[in-house]
Amino acid sequence: MIDWPLVSVIIFLPLIGALIILFIKEDELTSINIKWSALLATLGTFILSLILWLQFDYSNPSYQYEEKFRWFDDFNFFYHVGVDGISLFMILLSTFLTPLCILASWNNIKKRVKEYMLSFLFLETVMIGMFASIDILLFYIFFEAVLIPMYLIIGIWGGNRRIYASFKFFLYTLLGSVLMLIAIIVMYRNTSSMSIEFLQGNFFSYNTQLFLWLAFFASFAVKIPMWPFHTWLPDAHVEAPTAGSVILAGVLLKMGGYGFIRFSLGMLPEATEFFIPLIMTLSIVAIVYTSLVALAQTDIKKLIAYSSVAHMGIVTIGIFLVNQQGLEGAMMQMISHGLVSAALFLCVGVIYDRMHTREIEFYGGLVQRMPLYATVFMIFMLGSVGLPGTSGFIGEFLVIVGAFKFSSYVVIGAAFGIILSAVYMLYLYKRIIFGTITNNKLADILDINTREKIILIPLAISVILLGIFPNLFLDPMRLSLELIITNYEIANAK
């Protein structure tokens, strides 16, 4: 095993990269150095996180690579980090997507390159830190600190309505998370512990659980987002720069799902049981409603944003089924959505960089000029639809299998959403890729270049890998998920 603090190094390596960048003076010549430093720091982080996966002990359901230091003298707050099967892939997702984001912004971020790279590196540190925290206060600090770089990324490098979108994003999510702060303090007051591991033992009375559950729900439902708390998402996605959308869809939405699994299921099992009908209803409404809304969109990014809400609906259904298939499906769906929607936003970025518009009407017949682009877009589009052989299929299939144990109405709702997702994605693909070029401005559009290939091909490979060898991902997380389900069932059997 590894005897050096691997997790802490992974968390803080991007921050060290950021500190180095802070001391590079920015001008025309050095901005390339800034980009390379950022890329190397994030790639280094990615490679280290692969070690995390390779050395991971599949037979251990609890935390591994633990590090624990006293942090506050008066209360039991610790700097306590570690990785288990649930957080492992969330961390990998973050470290995998960030270098791609840096590459995706290589040429199209022209102003304030230094601040941009600083924001991304800081963002990576807090994302990884959040998934690796075992102490809830530490978790909360990282959870809220995510808002700072994301606010700047949307606000400085975003589109026309960026100010509105950045404020909406910040205040909406802040409102959710401050209620979580109160819940955390109440939990601490009841148990004198902030350890996520320790608190998964059903310590709270039924009524306390209900209130705590609602407070956590406020935070995670906004983050994931669930209907009707999703309205910040389309604005934030549309206005954010490409890389911002990628991180937002790829990782930040997963924070909500991760929180539901860890906190709602793990710590408040009886309240979860009580609120399952609510979650199922909201999720089905989300799936059907947002799919229909996606169908009516004229902006490509907005369409993908709404499809994210629908996909996250599948995730919440899977989580709150609280059985092995449901949870594994939800995890797979989160990983898959992290890759697929990130890739779709990158694909939109490719044509946006060339034409500076995201109107669906503007495009058409791209296959004539960009065959390679049409191919990779096809892979991701099918991944989003959930075609067998792609990552999307595994998640949706497992969730639906799990849902049969719960209620066939949920299955009908989820399946209807999946059909609708095929409708809007295929319709989108038809409109922008197929046909002949009618718009003269598209006559000279170039196919993807080497940099874009380097970004999109690893994503395409992992989407297919995930679809063909799901056990590669399911095995490490299986025991951790089983532990959560066992605790849940014991608590509710009483």
Partner 1 sequence: MLNNIYNIFFIPEIFLACSSFVCLLFGLFLKKNAFRQTSNLAVFVLLLTILLVYYDRESNFANYKSLFSHSSFINFFKILALLGSIASVIISKDYFLGIKLKNFEIPILFLFSTLGMMLMIASNNLMSMYLAIELQSLSLYVAAAIKRDSISSAESGVKYFILGALSSGILLYGFSLIYGFTGSMNFDDISFYLSKYDNLNLGLIFGLVFVMVGLAFKVSAVPFHMWTPDVYEGAPNSITGFFAIVPKIAAVALIYRFCLVPFENFYLEWSQIILFLSIASMFLGAIAAIAQSNIKRLLAYSSIGHIGYILIALVAANDDGIKAASIYMFSYMIMNVAIFAILLSLKVKNEYLINISDLKGLSKSNPIVSLSISIIMLSMAGIPPFIGFFGKFYIFIAAIEQELYVLSVLGVLASVISAFYYLRIIKIMYFDETKSEGIINFQISFQSKIILSLSLFLIICFIFYPSLLINISASLTI
List interacting residues with partner 1 (CB under 8 A): 71-75, 112, 115, 137, 140-141, 144-145, 147-148, 151-152, 155-156, 162-163, 166-167, 170-171, 174-175, 178-179, 181-182, 185-186, 188-189
Q: Is the dihedral of CA 380, 384, 385, 389 positive or negative?
A: positive
As measured in angstroms, the least distance from the Cβ of 160 to partner 1 is 11
Which residue, 193 or 297, is less far from partner 1 as judged by CB? 193
User: Residue 112 or 354: which CB sits closer to partner 1?
Assistant: 112
Nearer to partner 1, 151 or 377 (CB): 151
Give the shortest CB-174-to-partner 1 separation in angstroms: 5
Give dist(CA 298, CA 425) in Å, integer: 13
Q: Which is nearer to partner 1, 188 or 406 (CB)?
A: 188
Provide the Cα torsion 82, 311, 395, 98; round to 10°: -40
Cβ 152 to partner 1, closest distance in Å? 7
State the Cα–Cα distance between residues 126 and 139, nearest whole angstrom: 9
Question: How far apart, in whole angstroms, are the C-alpha atoms of residue 67 and residue 69?
Answer: 7
- Least distance (Å) between residue 295 CB and partner 1: 33
> What is the smallest separation between the CB atom of 77 and partner 1, expressed in angstroms?
9
Nearer to partner 1, 140 or 473 (CB): 140
* Residue-by-residue DSSP string for 459-485: HHHHHHHHHH-THHHHHHHHHHHHHHH
- Closest CB to partner 1 among residues 185, 423: 185
Nearer to partner 1 by Cβ, of 89 and 140: the residue is 140
DSSP 396-450: HHHHHHHHHTT-HHHHHHHHHHHHHHHHHHHHHHHHHTSS----GGGGGPPPP-H
For partner 1, the closer CB: 120 or 151: 151
Nearest approach in angstroms of CB 29 to partner 1 is 18
User: Is the C-alpha dihedral spanning 322, 323, 327, 329 positive or negative?
Assistant: negative
Q: For residues 34 and 15, what is the distance between their CA atoms, to the nearest angstrom?
A: 14
Cross-strand pairs, 80: 68
Minimum distance, C-beta of residue 218 to partner 1, in the bound complex (Å): 11
Shortest gap between Cβ of 243 and partner 1 (angstroms)?
Answer: 17
Query: 274 CB contacts (<8 Å, ≥6 apart)?
Result: 210, 213
Contact present, 448 and 366 (Cβ < 8 Å)? no
Tokens for 247, please give them. 């991180």
Q: Tokens 């995201």, residue?
A: 358
